[in-house]
Amino acid sequence: MQKKKNDNFIEKIVRKDYNNELEKVLEKKYFNENVKSILLNMFYKIEIGYKDYKKVKQDVETKDELIQKIIEEIKNNCETIKLVQPNSEESKIIGNRTFLVEKNKKRIICYPIERKLLYCIAKISKNDKIIKDDYFLISKTLSNLLNVGNNINTVEVMRDFNGYSWTTIPREIESIKHNLIYQMLRILVGNEFLNKWIYDDENIVDYLEIFTKNMIQNYDKIEGTELIEGLKQLSVLMDVRYDKNSKREILKIKKEIEKELYQLEDSKKFVQELTNKKIELTKKIKNIDETINNQQMLKEEYQKRNDALALNNKIFSVRILAEMLEKERDSYIEEIEKLNNKLNPQKYLSYRKNLETKEKYLTLLNAENIDEEIDRLIINIQKQFLKYYELKLQKAQTKQEIIDMIYEFRYYCMIPYDQEKTIYQVKDLQKIIEKVQKQLIQKAGQLKAINIFSKKEELNYKMIKNIFHNRIINLEEICIKVTKENEQYYVQLFDENVFEGKNSFGNINTISKKDLEIRMNKKVKIFL
């Protein structure tokens, strides 16, 4: 009973701290008491789950950085937060979804669920494009892939960690595939780099170029390029698969590019069509010049346009029309410049090559089964990632580095692949994952980070491998005990004094006591 009173006292202090911090922001907001309460609960859950979250994932921002970032996002990007009950009259505005985020209005409409509200706050605070327009379609699709992944990542500390356990329920993850790719990238390039990329408001630095150069420099050139190319292709397919509006937009672009490439096949016809467009645009520019310089013509154009417009779209004055005409003239001049580039023999080949590069991503839409193509790309990307991880493992030189990598790789193994399986349970990846696990255990033994339970490497691996397939928070507290029942050897796993499971690793015909570096029926810690 005393412990419960102490816990309640600590909780009150924590809530008071958050209340003081939030009041500076909320005093200028018109959030009702329910919203304030759910925000406080949200921060409290982050507080109690963060320590375990940090231990499990290793490479994360500090708790203070995370909480401060969320408070700043509420301050700068949330003017309205409205909580609605499922199946209520108010919830009809969000349809069959659990939330609605309107960035232009800085408004969130959401079910009263802390993790859903936190996801909305993360979503409303991001730029839609975090990759330069120079990358064509990839600018939008890869931005979406990274942003959605980061939103899911933000929620994880509260979703999966309750201060006592680490539990991941796949159906609570907004997108399992987005999460998998993002977590893989976080391990690949680091949490700090991804955060700089995603939260760069100025969009001046070309992070995709930096990422590409680093992959080629620190990784095998061919393999690194293949992984990046796979990410680009995957981002296009996932955008088409999960966003109907994006699908319509991309299919329209595909049709236009295919039309341009077809026209290029007949160069004479292509040149003639571009020339005709230039003549047409030149006439429009001439007509605008004459209109602007003739008050009577300007008034007639003003009357003509307003007669065709609805009342709420009327042009306010002749002066505003003149400004509109100037902008139209500038756009026509810009279009003529683009046509000149296309007609320039020196730029023709690069223009054609550029179109063909764009078409390369659009032809992905020709796949008979997009879901199967997405799965194929995801598996291939994971294989490239695992090759990278082997290189990273070879560079580890200290006991702490290898311990951190064991935690890191355990986390990777436990990432959901779909509703039923985690990554280490995917058949196409099991052999490669097992190879990395064996290398981690072998090097950890060499660096004296873990105990060696058998001098036979394969047997030693079988005895320890379950450290990669469990959700015990603190791996350093795990003990194992070897027992023998009915001619069968078993490894029992303990978290401190709590029994976590028993696994068979061999029978009397393949194992003898001489093979073991551990006494039977005695609990021994795995980590030194």
Q: Which residue has the higher pLDDT, 511 or 526?
A: 526
Q: Which of 187, 197, 257, 173 is nearest to 227 (CA)?
A: 187
- Across the range 48-54, mean pLDDT stands at 95
And the tokens for 255? Answer: 């049709």
Looking at residue 362, its pLDDT comes to 82
pLDDT per position as a tens digit, 93-132 = 898 889 999 999 999 999 999 999 999 999 999 999 899 8
Determine the 3-state secondary structure of 185 from DSSP: helix
CA–CA gap between residue 225 and residue 219 (Å, rounded):
9
pLDDT per position as a tens digit, 151-210 = 999 999 999 999 999 999 999 999 999 999 999 999 999 999 999 999 988 878 999 999
Q: Torsions phi, psi of 162, nearest 5?
A: -115, 10
Q: How far is C-alpha 98 from the geometric centre of its chain's CA atoms?
A: 20
So where are the chain's domains? 2-218, 420-525
Looking at residue 303, its pLDDT comes to 85
CA dist list (Å): 320 to 298, 305, 328, 506: 11, 12, 12, 85
CA–CA gap between residue 249 and residue 462 (Å, rounded):
51
- Across the range 425-454, mean pLDDT stands at 94
Q: What is the torsional sign of CA 289, 290, 293, 294?
A: negative
CA–CA gap between residue 43 and residue 39 (Å, rounded):
6
| Res 431 pLDDT > 50 | yes
pLDDT per position as a tens digit, 373-417 = 999 999 999 999 999 999 889 889 999 999 999 999 999 999 999
| Res 233 pLDDT > 60 | yes
DSSP class of residue 32? Answer: -
